[in-house]
Amino acid sequence: MDLLYGVCLKYLADKEDAQDAVMAIFEELVTKLQRHEVENFKSWVYTLAKNHCLMKLRQQKKQPVTKLSDSFMQSGEDGHLEAVLAREENLRQLEDCLQQLGDGQRNVIELFYLQGKCYKEISEDTGIDWNSVRSSIQNGRRNLKICMEAAKQQIQSNE
């Protein structure tokens, strides 16, 4: 069995396809051994496996498989109304928490996360030195996290 799996894996380059091929070869063995007189079983079964895999590869060329990207498929989370509503509630809470930050932290957080600016660009736009920008972003993130956790606890206690 290990010999067959190794041969199939070598030709098919996919674990699941190789396992399927081994099973199919074992099914073939039942009928083929009744029709053929085999002197050297190991080399004969190797050739049988190799031919089976080559035939499978030829069939796949005739019927190419199109792989779809994950973004094409609908995600499980979006399929459920409750998950969508929970995400909307989280975004609303995040907006509320963002408004509770001081003007400096809120401005830097919005420039960094919402507008995608780097520390240097924020420093140049606001006139705040680079280390203060970095510190404001870190403190703002920490304050947002604390605020979001408090909001979650409040919702859980209301339920």
Q: Which amino acid is at 92?
A: R
Question: Tokens 């510190």, residue?
Answer: 135
pLDDT band of 64, cuts 50, 70, 90:
low
Query: Model confidence over 12-63: pLDDT tens digits?
Result: 888 898 898 889 988 888 888 888 888 888 888 888 889 989 988 888 777 6
Nearest to 112 by CA among 88, 90, 139, 93: 139
Residue type, 103: D
pLDDT at 143 over 60: yes
Please, what are the domains in the chain? 2-62 (no CATH), 81-158 (1.10.10.10)
Rounded to whole angstroms, the Cα distance separating 56 from 79 reads 37
CA distances from 46 to 10, 39, 41, 135 (A): 12, 13, 8, 65
In the chain, the amino acid numbered 44 is W
